[in-house]
Homo-oligomer: A and B are copies of this chain.
């Protein structure tokens, strides 16, 4: 059965765009739309979507408040994907802290959007949108949303170990030596880590590791 998605955005154009992109996929079904945050909770109760693509800036109730409302009032809440532009980065981190599961850049290409939806639907986090770095310096100490997001990624012990070694700058071959396993094995673990973190390459994974507090600089 397909992944069910609820679109929440005050701009019809954006909703139509997302719908067009997502409906083109056989395994994704858009089950509803909302134009403001206030309508989200009742719609979620009614439609029980697996994923909510949630805009940040909306009338009545913004994406952050709507995210909080959904997670606070709905049993088995859907995954929340925060839809954003570069411009409202400052709001995004609040949404993540409110419990959202990932980012989605409006300017992302269709394939990336589809990928993001599938990822969160599978319970994986989407730690790494290209703009994550721009959030730096805006978190208060102690409440880093990304940390929970990475924890949500549920890395296995081996994968965590590989991520640590990646974060110390080692190549796959070097990691293989260190762990005394084959290079192909390391590749498997690395691929798993990238998928779970929503990272495109090892560099993004390492950044996510730093941003989330998984590793810490001096």
Task: Give me the interface of A with B, judged by CB distance under 8 Å.
Answer: 93, 128, 130-139, 144-146, 166-171, 174, 199-204, 206-207, 210-213, 215-218
Supplied contacts A136-B215, A217-B217, 18 more A-B pairs, CB within 8 Å? A93-B218, A130-B169, A132-B168, A132-B169, A133-B167, A133-B169, A134-B168, A135-B218, A136-B217, A136-B218, A138-B218, A169-B200, A169-B203, A169-B207, A171-B201, A206-B206, A213-B218, A216-B217
Task: Give the copy number.
Answer: 2
Instruction: Decide if the interface of chain A is mainly helix, strand, loop or mixed.
Output: loop
Q: For residue A138, which residue of chain B has the nearest CB?
A: B218
Q: Which residues on the B side are within 8 Å of A132 (C-beta)?
A: 168-169
Complex Cα–Cα for A168 and B208 (A): 10
**Min CB–CB distance A116 → chain B (angstroms):** 15
A-B contacts, 22 listed (Cβ < 8 Å): A130-B168, A130-B169, A130-B174, A132-B168, A133-B167, A133-B168, A135-B218, A136-B217, A136-B218, A138-B218, A139-B218, A145-B218, A166-B203, A167-B207, A168-B207, A169-B204, A171-B200, A206-B206, A210-B210, A211-B217, A211-B218, A212-B217
